A and B are shown apart, each in its own frame.
Chain A
Amino acid sequence: MNNNALSASGIDIDALVKNMLSPECISNPYPVYKQLRAHAPVNGLLDYPPGTVPGVDTPYPAWVVTRYEDVDYVLRNPEIFSSEDPMQANSSAPSLMLVNHDRPRHTALRNLAKMAFTPKRIHDDIVDRLRIDIIKIIDAGVNSEMDFMVDVAGVIPALVMTYLMGLPREDYKLLVRWANAFMVSSDFTPEERQSCNVELFHYFVAKVEKRYSDIAAGVKVSDDLMTAFINAEYEGDVLSKEEVILFCITLVVAGAETTTYFIGNLMGVMLEDPTWFSKLKEDRSLIRPFMEECLRRDGPPQRLFRLVLQDCEISGQAIKAGDWIAFFMAAANHDESVFPEPEKFIIGRKNIAKHVTFGRGIHHCLGAPLARVEAEIMLNVILDKCDGIKGSLAASRRQSGGLLAYGFSTLPVELVAKKA
């Protein structure tokens, strides 16, 4: 659609939207968001939802929503903005549980997921094992240059998925690859992306089938999240086998890559301003506000899509039922009218809880506490085991494969071991 394009500020807004999928914009989209926030929503972004394959699937033109107030409106009104994703549904990708459901099925599924995904399970299955594994990873990596994205940030969330679902530890590498292919934010050929989607699906079909047959045969099975999904019952409702498979897949693709980028971005802030290392080391109560400001300023998930069910207006722009919108949480998190000096890293912002990195409303991120636990353990282990960090952001590179996530593709650092 032509948005009649030269704006009052003289910016060619159509060209700006068209350019959003350029590697330059993906690796630093914030200046573009700033220009877009000066406008009501603009139509015409041809972008790819998770699971779809560039070069194979055809994107629908989406309205671009960037202001905090507008993003908040979309998040809070699921009856107007459906999470159904027709583009993903028509692709080779497995559809996602909860993420792509509307009420009332969403409520039933969320209640079932809550029966399985309890905080106690998160705590008991993860915290101690993860601390031990991170200590090993850091001990093995100190005092020589490592790529933090490969050696630490890429490993932690995928390991956690193996703990949660009772998978062999070594399979974490498979999970990393499949999650990266699904999230359309790394360099894969269309064929690789499609075959990753198929492999991911078949892997969990086999694992879940085996678990069902073990349970049926009376074999003692591990008390993990996969078993809990199978056994979850809420008011007489249970998950079908296919739903259990799709839940497992959803956890991997939703939890692995985003958390990897979050963990990487935390390290990025410590390289940007080396005083953070000693400040956090001396006062661990700063870790939580440090993480929250990183989630706001550098939150990995950039945008999500919704299908418009009713004619509506966003910032005065008429939007019609059947239209497709891309709303940018990351742009909202940089809205000057809510977060002054948004590019600055300022911990203790009074309204920091209002960042929308984990979404808001009924589709808020179920894994947010898990992401925070993983990041907090990682930071504490590094602060315990190290005296400092060497490295420069000049040697790093941000991923430029897809607009879904903001994060490093490579982040060379040297963790300096604590002197005995």
Chain B
Amino acid sequence: MQVIVTDRAGEIAEYNVAGFSELFSVLSDEMKIDALCGGCCSCATCHIYTDEDDAVKLSDCDENERDVLDGLLHVQSGSRLLCQLASKAEISKLNITIAQAE
């Protein structure tokens, strides 16, 4: 899966990853996200924006994720937590933007 990531500095980089957990791991190692809680849907430091057109390809936002997103200042349509993301349909290319730090 090819993911085009716009980071907090506005820089754009391309990642070729097997899935979202690999992307989560790579972005945290690059310190583009803090990933404080290690991916347990708690800290919201992996908050990203996805394109609305891509929503059909992505896993649904469950109650836990919704609860965490509801507490954020910079939430908008397409807001997701990267740690909770999975694909529902085959994704060849996806654009995401890392939300500003809360």
Contacts and interface: CB of A to CB of B under 8 A. Distances in A.
Nearest to B37: A364
Interface stretch (B14-22, B38-46, B48-56, B88-96): B38-46
Majority SS of interface residues in chain A?
helix
B36 A292 contact: no
Interface string B62-74: 0000010001010
A82 B22 CA distance: 30
A75 B39 CA distance: 12
Nearest to A289: B31
A353 B42 contact: no
Interface of B: 28-29, 31, 34-38, 40, 42-43, 67, 71, 73, 101-102
B40 to A, nearest CB: 5
Contacts of B37: 360-362, 364
Interface stretch (A29-37, A110-118, A276-284, A395-403): A110-118
A105 interface: no
A357 to B, nearest CB: 11
A365 interface: yes
Contacts of A118: 73, 102
B101 A352 contact: no
Interface string A349-384: 011111000101110110011000000000000000
B73 A120 contact: yes
Contact of A353 (B31, B43, B67, B101): B31
Nearest to B33: A353
Given A361-B38, A361-B42, A119 B101 contact: yes
A75 B43 CA distance: 14
Contacts of B28: 353-354
A115 B71 CA distance: 7
Contact of B38 (A76, A110, A289, A352): A76
A77 B42 CA distance: 13
Interface string A329-353: 0000000000000000000001111
Contacts of B36: 358, 360, 364-365, 368
Contacts of A368: 34, 36
Contacts of B73: 118-120
Among A75, A110, A360, the most chain B Cβ lie within 10 Å of the Cβ of A360
A288 B40 CA distance: 24
Contacts of B29: 350-354
A118 B43 CA distance: 12
A119 B31 contact: no
B101 to A, nearest CB: 7
A378 B29 CA distance: 25
Instruction: Give 10 closest A-B pairs by Cβ, nearest first.
Output: A353-B28, A360-B38, A364-B37, A119-B102, A364-B36, A114-B71, A362-B42, A361-B40, A353-B29, A364-B43
Contacts of A114: 71
B63 to A, nearest CB: 11
A365 B43 CA distance: 9
Contacts of A352: 29, 31
B30 to A, nearest CB: 8
A285 B98 CA distance: 19
Nearest to B40: A361
A369 B101 contact: yes
Given A114-B71, A351-B29, A353-B31, A364 B102 contact: no
A288 B31 CA distance: 9
Contacts of A72: 38
Contacts of B34: 353, 368-369
A351 B42 CA distance: 21
Interface in A68-125: 72, 75-76, 110-111, 114-115, 118-120
Given A118-B102, A360-B36, 7 more contacts: A111-B67, A119-B102, A350-B29, A352-B31, A361-B37, A364-B37, A369-B101
A114 B44 CA distance: 11
A76 B42 CA distance: 11
B31 A75 contact: no
Interface in A21-40: none
Nearest to B102: A119
Interface string A111-143: 100110011100000000000000000000000
A225 B5 CA distance: 35
A237 to B, nearest CB: 13
Nearest to B36: A364
A320 B42 CA distance: 28
